[in-house]
Amino acid sequence: MAVLSAHGIEAPLPPGFEGRIVIRAAIGREVPYPVANFSTFALPADVGDFGSGAVTLMGPSDIFATLFEYGPESLGKPLFARQAMPRALTASDFRPYVLRRGLNGQSGSQWFFTEAGRPFTLYVVLGSHVQRTLLIPRVNDLIGTVSIAPNLPSMATVTPSSTQSPQVSPAPVPARSTGAPWN
């Protein structure tokens, strides 16, 4: 089993999955953060963060998943209140209208959460909404083993000080988990 590991994300890949964990080049003044793409089909080199350029290549039995990290400014926001990534999705978690780009027959699920002090969204696309009960176990095999490490010091929020050495601010943790899926 191949194991992808970079930028504080580790993902043992179940059979048939390929993937990548990248920090893409910045566009303009943006600060890019790690993105992990997983698929059961050949990922194009220029795949978008949320699968543009890839989801159109999917067959009915294919799966595409993205784990997208947001910047530290998102920490503590209600959208990211859910603690920890969902590890077991069900058929009711998938909706055809959740897709970022509505493609006939496909289905999607999106979750915002905070894990290890890092804000993420998990976005999963199934090639066929009808076959979701067959495909979801494979999705769960994938997301069930993904691990996220706490922020690296270089990626954490740094509070500069003229007299003291820089201090890494701990990520604010919401008082309670009230997060919900995006669907």
**Site of interaction with other proteins (CB under 8 A):** 2-7, 13, 16-23, 40-42, 45-46
Pairing outcome for strands 158-159 and 167-168 = antiparallel
Q: Of 69 and 93, which CB lies nearer to other proteins in the complex structure?
A: 69
Which of 59, 26, 25 is closest to 41 using CA atoms? Answer: 59
Output the smallest distance, CB 34 to other proteins, in A. Answer: 9
Cite the beta strand spans of 132-176 per DSSP E. Answer: 147-148, 158-159, 167-168
Q: Of 12 and 150, which CB lies nearer to other proteins in the complex structure?
A: 12
Output the smallest distance, CB 172 to other proteins, in A. Answer: 29
How far is the CA of 27 from the CAs of 31, 32, 63, 97, 164, in angstroms?
8, 8, 28, 29, 33
Q: Which secondary structure element, helix H or strand E, spans residue 132, and what is its range?
A: helix 132-143
Q: Of 20 and 95, which CB lies nearer to other proteins in the complex structure?
A: 20
Output the smallest distance, CB 109 to other proteins, in A. Answer: 23
Give the 3-state secondary structure of residue 10: strand
Q: Of 39 and 106, which CB lies nearer to other proteins in the complex structure?
A: 39
Output the smallest distance, CB 178 to other proteins, in A. Answer: 33
